[in-house]
Structure 1
């Protein structure tokens, strides 16, 4: 498949899940959807479509990585698109964990929204920010939901 097309599809496949977590975190539909780890599957499928046809090249590049080899692998259209799909899939999976953990701990959605946006943009920094937030906020449970 065309790497440009797959690259272009990757974030739009994940964006609705991010929008739910950030814009409608308390909505019962959001909670139901985000309860499933399968939300990260669409960008994973893009990754698979890019990597599996060239699995030999990818295995060679990652089995004994060095900077020049990784640069060569990621410096191709397929490699860059696969790297992007990899980022998007794992960023979404981590964002989902943060969303669920924050809900369980009773972290206010207005506190979580910028952390989730940071995770979309620069996932390791977003995760680091959430881990710091998690360490400094008192552990509390959310208020009981009305029956």
Structure 2
């Protein structure tokens, strides 16, 4: 069961990544990616792996130590749960970056490698996008007007 859930984790996320990278201008891409629920399949898989193992997981996360986390992740269930965790959060971060990039007018050809980096090495992809987004100013980056004083 664990091996199946592990394999299923990326399979349920891949279509969303494909839409953002390969079909960024398709109207259905915006409709689908606009929903934060795209992360739900990965979150459900994570819950299926973690909830039955809460007795092992809670001590490792409530009072983390390197050895405790290593021991937890060194099991098939722990590795599969960590993978589902990463896939769900990377997808959520990629979704945010993609939506923000559309508002700012960041070209799809610039975003494609950033999204691939986010798939492969999540936090580095997010860091890359935070760097990229400073070059494009769209409605999301325009500050609200300051109130004027009367008198």
**How do 1:87-106 residues align onto structure 2 when only pairs under 5 Å count?**
87-106=86-105
TM norm structure 2 = 0.90
Q: How far apart, CA to CA, are the structure 2 residues paired with 1:56 and 1:93?
A: 27
Q: Which runs of 5+ in 1 are unaligned?
A: 142-147
Q: Secondary structure at the match of 1:26?
A: coil
Alignment correspondent of 2:81: 82
TM norm structure 1 = 0.93
Q: How far apart, CA to CA, are the structure 2 residues paired with 1:101 and 1:66?
A: 36
Count of equivalent residues: 139
Alignment correspondent of 2:146: none
Computing the radius of gyration from Cα coordinates, the structure with the larger value is: 2
Q: What is the RMSD computed on CA atoms of the aligned residues?
A: 0.8
2:67 matches 1:68 = yes
2:57 matches 1:58 = yes
Q: How far apart, CA to CA, are the structure 1 residues paired with 2:136 and 2:106?
A: 9
2:147 matches 1:130 = no
Runs of 4+ in 1 over 6 A off after TM superposition: none
Q: How far apart, CA to CA, are the structure 2 residues paired with 1:17 and 1:140?
A: 24
